[in-house]
Amino acid sequence: MDCRQEKTAEQFRLEANEAFHKKKYAQACELYTKAIEISPSAVLYANRSLARIKLEEYGYAYMDACKSIEWDPRYPKGYYRRAVANFALGKYKAALEDFTRVLQLVPNDTDALAKKKECEKRMRELAFAKAIDSDAVKPCSAFDTIDYESIPVEDSYTGPRWERDEDIKSFCDQLLEYLRNQGRLHRKYLIKLLCYSKRYFDQLSNIVSYQVKECGLTVCGDTHGQFYDVLNIFQLNGYPSRENPYLFNGDFVDRGSFSVEVIITLLSFVCYDPQCMLLNRGNHESRNMNKIYGFEGEVKSKYNEKIYSLFAELFESLPLGHLLMGEKENQRVLVIHGGLFSRDGVTLEDLQKIDRHREPDQGLMAELLWSDPQKELGLGVSKRGIGVSFGPDVTRRFLDANQIALLVRSHEMKEQGYEIEADNRLITVFSAPNYCDQMGNLGAYIRFSSSLEPHVTTFSHVPHPNVPPMAYASNGLSSMGLV
């Protein structure tokens, strides 16, 4: 390689670093790729790995970290990046091995030591959970041990009360304003919401058929604990009611630090009238994600571990999708959180047979909640490390085989809040604007008419109280800086 090529590669690296520091992570990846094409190195692969971690592309980040280690087996940041990618995927044993290797190379790295201890803690928790989850000793439902009626409400509590079922409308009306002003719903009424909601969700099938009425239906994507942006959606599009129903398509919690307020709000409308608030499960409605990305920590901080166990069990009862039915027989739209599957021939009947009361870590359920579309035809490796990447031809075959006109999914941040792909047969909608207070993206929601014609509205973020995203998250996701 001549000096001119080396200077060009170095210029791309510097430009990539600048883009990274401006939080333009996709642009940084493109620039690192250009540098790698000219002069690959352990540093460049490790830097691109970090940018992909920021984009939550943990599968790609893992592969880049492996490449970094191949180029220089003594480069600590390669092991560090791989450890963070594995930690994000819940692969604590592999992460532990790499953090241990970092400490062999950099013995005084206090951050790596802290993350090593976090991995060891997670592994102990998993071992304990596995030990008690046997055929001989099945843990009872957390809901079986709860008696919310016996929980006293202190005289000092000034928030909304829900003592009688007929009080639910006034309860909901007062609740939103109370939460907006950073009030904390009393645990008695929160547990009551959880119990009522779980009884309702347990009655539903995996894929719920829903007839869209003349009033239409609004579909929202990921909200990720951005409570004040959820309130803004209601301000822009009207509050949920039977005449103005909503479907929130998963990932209500994690990352944003008002996840408790988001899920309480959604569940309150479910209890008020299930026909005004439909919910799908997302990949973040799971114990592993909640432990890493903040919801578990937030619930324990605002309430206690017992209430988190109720949330975790409730999430397993959520349906996996909704099949929207239009005015005519051939008008059908499938709304699921993630995407499609690693094999052709999957039917709606197959999805109905899934045992959804578990972690979404394998099989059709994992793919349904984790997969992403790609521009290329066919199937590809998942950038996340779970699920698959599926092309427009895969989308077309699945929809045609199941007599569905359109697939709506969420799961990915989009600059404009939405993206239409696969010859207009796939729409991604994302409803968390300025994601994690740093991405600068718009949010969006889709309003479907009774003929299932989609109308997209985009919106910007609104201010929120000074609590940063990931305030309750695990400390295992930070990464050593760029070079």
Identify the pLDDT of residue 138: 57
Integer angstrom CA distances of residue 326 from 205, 332, 448, 472 = 19, 6, 9, 42
Only one residue has tokens 């959820």, namely 230
Identify the pLDDT of residue 341: 98
pLDDT tens-place string over residues 432-449: 999 999 999 999 999 999
What phi and psi values does residue 323 have, to the nearest 5 degrees?
Answer: -105, 110
* CB 72, CB 56: distance < 8 Å: no
Q: Across all residues in the chain, what is the average pLDDT?
A: 94
Q: Could you give the percent of the chain with pLDDT greater than 90?
A: 86
Can you tell me the distance from the alpha carbon of 76 to that of 53, in angstroms, rounded to the nearest whole number?
17
Identify the pLDDT of residue 166: 87
Can you tell me the distance from the alpha carbon of 59 to that of 344, in angstroms, rounded to the nearest whole number?
23
Q: Does the pLDDT of residue 5 top 80, yes or no?
A: no
Identify the pLDDT of residue 3: 72
pLDDT tens-place string over residues 9-51: 899 999 999 999 998 999 999 999 999 999 999 999 999 999 9
Can you tell me the distance from the alpha carbon of 210 to that of 228, in angstroms, rounded to the nearest whole number?
28
Identify the pLDDT of residue 134: 55
Q: Does the pLDDT of residue 462 top 60, yes or no?
A: yes
Identify the pLDDT of residue 1: 58
Which residues are tagged catalytic?
284
Confidence of residue 126 (pLDDT cuts 50, 70, 90): confident
pLDDT tens-place string over residues 188-219: 999 999 999 999 999 999 999 999 999 999 99
Identify the pLDDT of residue 90: 87
Q: Could you give the percent of the chain with pLDDT greater than 70?
A: 96
Can you tell me the distance from the alpha carbon of 336 to that of 281, in angstroms, rounded to the nearest whole number?
8
Question: Which has the closest alpha carbon to 480: 9, 115, 218, 25?
Answer: 115
Integer angstrom CA distances of residue 29 from 26, 46, 48, 53, 84 = 5, 11, 6, 11, 18
Identify the pLDDT of residue 202: 97
* Residue boundaries of the structural domains of the chain: 3-132, 196-459
Only one residue has tokens 């951050």, namely 111
Question: Which has the closest alpha carbon to 295: 258, 324, 325, 266?
Answer: 258
Return the SS3 of 423: coil
**Which positions ≥6 away from 12 have C-beta within 8 Å?**
31, 32, 34, 35, 38
Residue 398, burial from CB neighbour count under 10 angstroms (0-12, 13-18, 19+): buried
pLDDT tens-place string over residues 390-443: 999 999 999 999 999 999 999 999 999 999 999 999 999 999 999 999 999 999
What is the pTM (predicted TM-score) of this model? 0.92
Residue 342 region by backbone torsions, left for phi larger than 0, else alpha for psi between -120 and 50, else beta: alpha
In eight-state DSSP terms, residue 143 is G
pLDDT tens-place string over residues 57-72: 999 999 999 999 999 9
Integer angstrom CA distances of residue 448 from 130, 214, 269 = 44, 10, 20
Identify the pLDDT of residue 6: 79
Token output for 250: 């998963």
**Which positions ≥6 away from 100 have C-beta within 8 Å?**
116
Only one residue has tokens 């547990």, namely 191
Query: Could you name the CATH architecture of 196-459?
Result: 4-Layer Sandwich (3.60)
Token output for 141: 């439902």
pLDDT tens-place string over residues 344-389: 999 999 999 999 999 999 999 999 999 999 999 999 999 999 999 9
Identify the pLDDT of residue 139: 67
Cα 398–Cα 404–Cα 408 angle in degrees, nearest 5: 85
What phi and psi values does residue 62 have, to the nearest 5 degrees?
Answer: -60, -45
Identify the pLDDT of residue 304: 96
Cα 229–Cα 297–Cα 355 angle in degrees, nearest 5: 85
pLDDT tens-place string over residues 253-293: 999 999 999 999 999 999 999 999 999 999 999 999 999 99
- Superfamily of the domain at 3-132: Tetratricopeptide repeat domain (1.25.40.10)
